[in-house]
Amino acid sequence: MNFFISVTAIPLATVILSLTKLKVEQLRLVVPVMSWLQFGVLTFLSLPALQNNHSFLTFSVDFSIEKIGACFLLLTNFIAAASITHATCFFANEKLVGRGEDPQHEKLYYAACALFVTAMSFVFLSDNLGLLWVSIEATTLFSAALVYFSRDKHSLEATWKYLIICSVGIAFALLGIILIFASSQHGAIAGGSLSLRLLVDHANELQPKLLQFGYIFCLLGFGTKAGVFPLHTWLPDAHSEAPAPASALLSGALLNCALFSICRVTEIIQVSGHSFFATFLPISWGALTALAASFFLIHQVGIKRLWAYSSIENVGIMLVAIGLGSPPLFFFQALNHSLAKVALFLLSGNIIQSAGTKELKQIKGILQVSPSWGITFAAAAAAVTGMPPFGSFVAEWMILSHCGDLVQRIAAGVLLFALALSFIAVSLHVGRILWGKPKHQIAVLPTFSSTLIPLLLCIFSLLAGSTCLPTFFFD
């Protein structure tokens, strides 16, 4: 009970505060403080799990966490706090460009955001596959409110697609979970169990046919939510229509949740000895996704759609890491992707406000508008494409060098090609954004506060690549 109170108290307080008559200006200052407090509380809670390598920290029945889960939990809440802090200046500027007249929408945004982040936290805290599914579905429902923030036709269409495609996809994951539950009732565990820990412990005794079917459905279902090709159609729309801080959350935190669920299920089947399923499927599908996304990157018209496809590419890389059976590798890639991508989405929000358009053709000369934006933007883009001093280079290098047998080597080749292609495509687009003459009147004056969070995230990404931080995850 204490556990539930400590995890949900601050978000619930945030929801209540945002629905009271508090002024929006006050709310913008209070909510970031609350989200950093929540980050602190969760750090305190999961500290024993971080210090201990292979043991589970049990909170109550159905809720426990181990090291990688704790890392993801903290990453998600860190990203959330950073994005909510940046939202303060984003929403203040939104008023200057003449959008977001209704303060009620912003209050609703903060309330939905708090619930969304809590739902994501429960994905990492659940030991029970059923509750994990409930949390994932809850993230879809709460984040729909974030995507619908601007209340226009485009955002409505994006929200509808997001809600329907993800709900149906996730429904198939439930079918998969039921099959895994059924597989545990054939003598492995009396009465069957949904507990991930028990399932991994008894993986050899699970009914193999049901387990394999269940795994395929889980991959399909959670894959839809992670935006795996060709089930990704909702992702660019939702990421591009949501306001920038929400796009950052969708890309930097939500995709990790879906992939983490795949990782947990993959663990069961890898231990059970049907490793062909659990390595071949994710690796080949991940490589295919990365390849397809890098082709989509070439012809892009919207700045946020560009980053959305880059996220899909990274989902492919992370799926390969999951298939290789190395959760720490998966986390390290996720960490670097989240840090850089969130910085990019937040900066893109600033740029869109200043340029007054999302179209890549219309955005030019950002270095002239604001050197600090331009330099941070270039650094974040370099980090996302895997340039050497940044963490994603180390992570991608490790993933590629981990590939051993023939199938994995072919996948590594495909990945390498996709990485090169996306590097060229992103560099060209970013070059056009940075140099040239600004085409537009500057609607929002660049301030230091609007670069602060993206800059910090870039520095963290740099630290992850150039210090001995990675060794912490790989013990």
The residues that touch another protein, with contacts defined as CB under 8 A, are 62, 128, 130-131, 133-134, 137-138, 140-141, 144-145, 148, 151-154, 156-161, 163-164, 167-168, 171, 174-175, 178-179, 181-182, 185-187, 192, 194, 207, 209-210, 213, 236-237, 240-241, 296, 299-301
Distance CA 143, CA 15 (A): 14
* Smallest gap from residue 91 Cβ to another protein (A): 21
Express the helix, strand and coil content of the chain in percent, nearest 5 each: 80, 5, 20
Distance CA 335, CA 337 (A): 6
Of 144 and 344, which has the nearer Cβ to another protein? Answer: 144
Distance CA 269, CA 246 (A): 34
Of 208 and 356, which has the nearer Cβ to another protein? Answer: 208
* Smallest gap from residue 47 Cβ to another protein (A): 27
The residue among 119, 423, 155 whose CA lies nearest residue 253 is 119
Of 5 and 29, which has the nearer Cβ to another protein? Answer: 5
Give the Cα-Cα-Cα angle 255, 14, 43 (nearest 5 degrees): 60
Of 77 and 135, which has the nearer Cβ to another protein? Answer: 135
* Smallest gap from residue 12 Cβ to another protein (A): 16
Burial, 319: exposed, middle or buried (Cβ in 10 Å; 0-12, 13-18, 19+)? buried
Determine phi and psi for 57, rounding to 5 degrees: -100, 110
Q: What is the DSSP string of 287-354?
A: HHHHHHHHHHHHS--BHHHHHHHHHHHHHHHHHHHHHTT-HHHHHHHHHHHHHHHHHHHHHHHHHHHH
Looking at residue 401, its amino acid is: S
* Smallest gap from residue 215 Cβ to another protein (A): 15
Between the CA of residue 156 and those of 100, 149, 237, what are the distances in Å?
Answer: 16, 9, 10
Of 21 and 299, which has the nearer Cβ to another protein? Answer: 299
* Smallest gap from residue 182 Cβ to another protein (A): 5
Of 249 and 444, which has the nearer Cβ to another protein? Answer: 249
* Smallest gap from residue 309 Cβ to another protein (A): 10
Of 182 and 424, which has the nearer Cβ to another protein? Answer: 182
* Smallest gap from residue 161 Cβ to another protein (A): 8
